Amino acid sequence: MKNISKKFLFVALGTLFVVVLAYVGCNQSKSSLSGNEAERVYVAPGNYDEFYLFTSGGFNGQMGVMGLPSGRHFKTISVFSQNPETGYGYSEETKAMLNTTYGFIPWDDAHHPELSMTDGVPDGRFIFINGNNTPRVARIDLKEFETKEIIEIPNSAGNHGSPFVTENTEYIVASTRFSVPIPQSDVPISSYKENFKGTISFIKLDPQTEKMNLEFQIIVPGFDYDLAHAGKGPSHDWAFFTSYNSEQANTLLEINASKNDKDFIAAVNWKKAEQYLKEGKAKTVDAEYYRNYIDDKTHTAVSQLNKQVKVLDPKDCPGMIYYLPTPKSPHGVDVDPTGQYIVAGGKLATVIPVHSFDKMIKAIEGKQFDGEVNGIPILKYDAVVAGEVSNPGLGPLHTEFDGNGYAYTSSFISSEIVKWKLGTWEVVDRIPTYYSIGHLCIPGGDSKKPWGKYVVALNKITKDRYLPTGPELTQSAQLIDITGDKMKLLLDFPTIGEPHYAQAIPAEILMKNSQKIYKIEENGNPYAVKSEKDTRVERKGNEVHVYMSAIRSHFSPDNIEGIKVGDVVYFHVTNLEQDWDIPHGFAMKGMNNAELLIMPGQTLSIKWEPKKVGVFPFYCSDFCSALHQEMQGYIRVSPANSNVQLSYSLGK
Amino acid sequence: MKTKSAVLIAIGALILILTFFFPLWTIDLDAPQYPEGLGLRIWLNEISGLRPNDLQNINGLNHYIGMKVIEPDAIPEMDIMPYIMVFMILFGLLNAYLRNKNLIYIWLILFVILGAIGIYDFYMWAYDYGHNLNPNAPIKVPGMTYMPPILGSKQLLNISAQSYPSVATFIILISILLNVAALYIGREKKNA
């Protein structure tokens, strides 16, 4: 008896213990993870991620380079924003990249990274990103992971629907969010309906030089143009642009632009536009805009001011553009891998409308029109719609594809990703996101051949997901496995700035081309020194040029005298290293400018205007070697009227 | 001598042409900061890096410990060695034609002596680089010298150096063996 009761006591206590443990466990774990999620995202030390992920920096004007599945951050590419960390936008070689017709602008709002494509598949040559605030498009080289070109877009305001590429990167498209008076003029804002217009721009990527050129613009009714995607396969010749505010309101848009039952997707036949361009249907109009590019030889930014642009008017170009009626202020427009379905994210709609490309062509041929706007025929909704996805969540915004017949739509208001089947339009799965997802990204998910392994949720709000950091919290993405029938949350990870959109590409496509150094013998910067023997200091009036070299672990020269208050001193620093991952920094006490971070074989220049008499140190700011702390020098600054001769030395 | 021997001698001479296209010796360096490795290749007429900037980077590292800069143009032996090799090739071809046993012995002895001198010279250069250090070097480790190994592997501070003969050296050895074989096949039988 005694034994039995003891046994019973043990069992009872054990059960209680398990129950308590389970209760505590449930309470402590916010997530409902179970299984091998940790293993799925763990990239062991020294191993590589499977994908590169490029995230837009949003209001920081930059681009993040990260790895999937780990979510590790590798680099921040400076694009539209000055970066004192590297000297981008401060150095003489990069300043001109940020020139606009409004002068130098140190910032922009960067939303949509878009990889260059060949045959509708990301090819790893370039990634483009838009500047939303002062309309621009940047081209980033993926050998160097550096911004190589920025083109300004005239007759545009709020370059949001950009930069989406056609199937072979023939064009990079851009549509204006704000309609504005074109050309700009001093008119009452209330004259919106008569004076304000929108534009859709086609930037050509020259296949030989790989440089951008604003080939033509199409003038369109004064709506807000939101997002875009080019067609592929059968729809290769077309590009699609969402618009809202077909009400043409100029104030309190949240009410006034939400009235119409349907707004439009503009379907543009760019092949036809090219034809009209050839036939001379375009008007050449005055419009100033900059194109800034890094010269291949000198590695120095050049600003080119263009003064005219060719503009096509739909009235003169029948068959070039049609409107597809689309419910309730559509946001994203995404084309499935077959090029057949055009999916709209009607952000206030209760369904996701999917247009059929074939039906669209038939409707055009059969002239199934429902009126027109400024010469643009409106196609009948029923004649073009392929189907509607019911119960897609609240606030559907964007859709990406896995290449296996499924689409994934982000729903902002209900904070979830909804998986549905193309063709049957039935929702098959849904998963919550934390919180308020905007875009989403499947590697190659807007291309002809998605690598449909993961979907990344790009969220707007993080609230309680991370350790709090005062009022401003981290921005965040979430990695979700989509290889099974059920989507499975694997990882939360912070991003830089605001990750509006992101694109991912298999690591092996980029890794093998990633550049290690700049070859010193190919350095064509006019201020470069090819060896220490060429280092010198030259005076031209009150301008002093210091031709300096940096190599482990010294600058040459490192003692400079004869600089005077009132001089304008340019340090041209060449990193003579030809060894991978050995940058040198250049930091000067009291310089009202940034530092320089100079890659092996590169030359960068920075301007210093000494204001005080004394001896001032400079040093290497990147821990380069065992004797990094010895990598330093002095500059003597004498009064403006001093007779101290210009002199320089190293090791004397 | 038999034709067979003459053919072996001719082949032995002709394969020496390949020594112009392959390195004689390799020195490979590994260090924690160089997971991809650094390497030197010693040729008849030059010293090169395994990859485009390896020589420059090795010189860059060497300056910390006061080693002299390796300047291939400043090594006079590298100007002479190609001529010596051309001479040995022509000498070999002449032997194939003349089939004179004594001349073949001379060729063999000469080549072995030249090879020995070559390796001794290599040793002397390595000794000089490793021992004659700049007294103002930033890094001075008491008692430490940096002579790279001639054969085998050696740890020099953070760098592990491995030194081994390479293709051209093996070609020379094969050439010598072919001549020895030619002599053996061509030996006159006493009772014939």
Q: What is the pLDDT of residues B95-136, one digit of tens each?
A: 999 999 999 999 999 999 999 999 999 999 999 999 999 999
Is A287 touching B (CB cutoff 8 A)?
no
Which of A552, A578, A630 lies nearest to residue B53, judging by beta carbons? A578
pLDDT at A564: 98
Q: How far apart are CA A273 and CA A217, in angstroms?
A: 9
pLDDT above 50 for A23: no
Asked if A409 contacts A398 with a C-beta cutoff of 8 angstroms, the reply is yes
Residue A441 lies in a domain: yes
Do A218 and A277 belong to one domain?
Answer: yes
**A498 and A599 assigned to the same domain:** no
C-beta of residue B103 within 8 angstroms of C-beta of residue B181 = no
From chain A, the residues in CB contact with B53 under 8 A are 517, 578-579
What is the pLDDT, as a whole number, of residue A6?
Answer: 59
Residue A32, pLDDT > 90, answer no
Q: Do B64 and A626 touch (CB under 8 A)?
A: yes
Give yes or no for A302 touching B (CB within 8 A): no
Structural domain contains residue A25? no
Q: Which helix (H) or strand (E) holds B184?
A: helix B167-185
B139: chain A residues, CB-CB within 8 Å: 626
Dihedrals φ, ψ of A157, to 5°?
-150, 115
A516 part of a folded domain? no
The distance of B165 to chain A (nearest Cα, Å) reads: 27
Task: Confirm whether A277 is domain-assigned.
Answer: yes
Residues A504 and A544 in one domain: no
Could you tell me if A515 lies within 8 Å of chain B, comparing CB atoms? no
Start-to-end CA distance of chain B, whole Å, equals 14
Q: What is the ipTM of this complex?
A: 0.84
Do the domain assignments include residue A433?
Answer: yes
pLDDT tens-place string over residues A109-160: 999 999 999 999 999 999 999 999 999 999 999 999 999 999 999 999 999 9
As for how many domains chain A has, the answer is 2
What CATH number does residue A347 fall under?
A: 2.130.10.10
Whether A517 has its CB under 8 Å from any CB of chain B: the answer is yes
Same domain, A170 and A300: yes
Q: What is the per-residue pLDDT for A347?
A: 86
DSSP string, A310-339: EEE-GGGSTTSEEEEEEESSEEEEEE-TTS
Q: Do A551 and B60 touch (CB under 8 A)?
A: yes
Q: Is the pLDDT of residue A396 over 70?
A: yes
Q: What is the predicted pLDDT for the residue at A346?
A: 86
Contact with chain B for residue A630, Cβ under 8 A: yes
Within this chain, do residues A496 and A437 fall inside the same structural domain, yes or no?
A: yes
On whether both A208 and A256 belong to a single domain, the answer is yes
Are A575 and A438 found together in one domain?
Answer: no
Contact A552 B56 (CB under 8 A): no
The reply to whether B52 touches chain A by the CB within 8 Å rule is: yes
Contacts of A625 in chain B (CB under 8 A): 64
Task: Report the domain count for chain B.
Answer: 1
Query: Measured between CB atoms, does A627 come within 8 Å of chain B?
Result: yes
Q: Is residue A32 part of a domain?
A: no
| pLDDT higher than threshold 60 for residue A443 | yes
Query: How far is residue A152's CA from residue A77's CA, in Å, rounded to a whole number?
Result: 19
Asked if B60 lies within 8 A of A577 by C-beta distance, the reply is yes
Q: Which domain holds residue B158?
A: 3-191
Q: How far is B57 from chain A (nearest CA, A)?
A: 7
Average pLDDT over residues A598-618: 98
In chain B, the residue whose alpha carbon lies closest to the alpha carbon of A519 is B53
Q: Are residues A229 and A152 in the same domain?
A: yes
* Residue A374 pLDDT: 92
DSSP H/E element including A286: strand A283-294
Q: Are residues A75 and A161 in the same domain?
A: yes
C-alpha to C-alpha distance for A81 and A132, rounded to whole angstroms: 13
Burial of B56 (0-12, 13-18, 19+ CB in 10 A): middle
For an interface test with B, the pick among A578, A581, A584 (most B C-beta atoms closer than 10 Å) comes out as A578
Element spanning A372, H or E: strand A369-373
Residues 106-165 (B) with a CB less than 8 A from some CB of A: 138-139
A550 CB near a chain B CB, below 8 Å?
no
> Would you mind telling me the total number of residues written for chain B in this entry?
192
- Do both A483 and A595 map to the same domain? no
pLDDT at B86: 97
Name the residue range of residue A475's domain: 59-511
Tell me the chain A residues in contact with residue B52 when contact means C-beta distances shorter than 8 Å.
Answer: 578
- Answer whether residue A22 shows pLDDT above 50: no
- Residue A247 covered by a domain: yes
Q: How far is B1 from chain A (nearest CA, A)?
A: 57
Is B138's CB within 8 Å of A627's CB?
Answer: yes
What confidence score (pLDDT) does residue A28 get? 43
Supply the pLDDT for residue A25. Answer: 43
Nearest residue in chain A measured CA to CA from B36: A580
Smallest Cα distance from B118 to chain A, Å: 32
- Walk across the sheet containing B152-156 and list its strands: B47-49, B34-42, B25-31, B159-165, B152-156
Cα–Cα nearest to A369, from A328, A330, A326, A324:
A324
pLDDT of residue A5: 57
Write out the DSSP string of A148-178.
Answer: EEEEE-TT-SS--EEEEE-TTSSEEEEE-SS
Q: In terms of domains, do A219 and A314 share one?
A: yes
Whether A502 is in a domain gets the answer: yes
A16 has a pLDDT exceeding 70 = no
| Residue in A with minimal Cα distance to B56 | A578
The amino acid at B129: Y
pLDDT for the residue numbered A9: 57
Please indicate, yes or no, whether residues A412 and A308 belong to a single structural domain of this protein.
yes
Rounded Cα gap, residues A480 and B134, in angstroms: 59
Last residue of a domain, one of A458, A485, A511: A511
Under-50 pLDDT residues of chain B: 192
Residue A650 at interface with chain B, using a CB cutoff of 8 Å? no
Mean pLDDT of chain A: 94
User: Are A578 and B57 inside 8 Å of each other by CB?
Assistant: yes
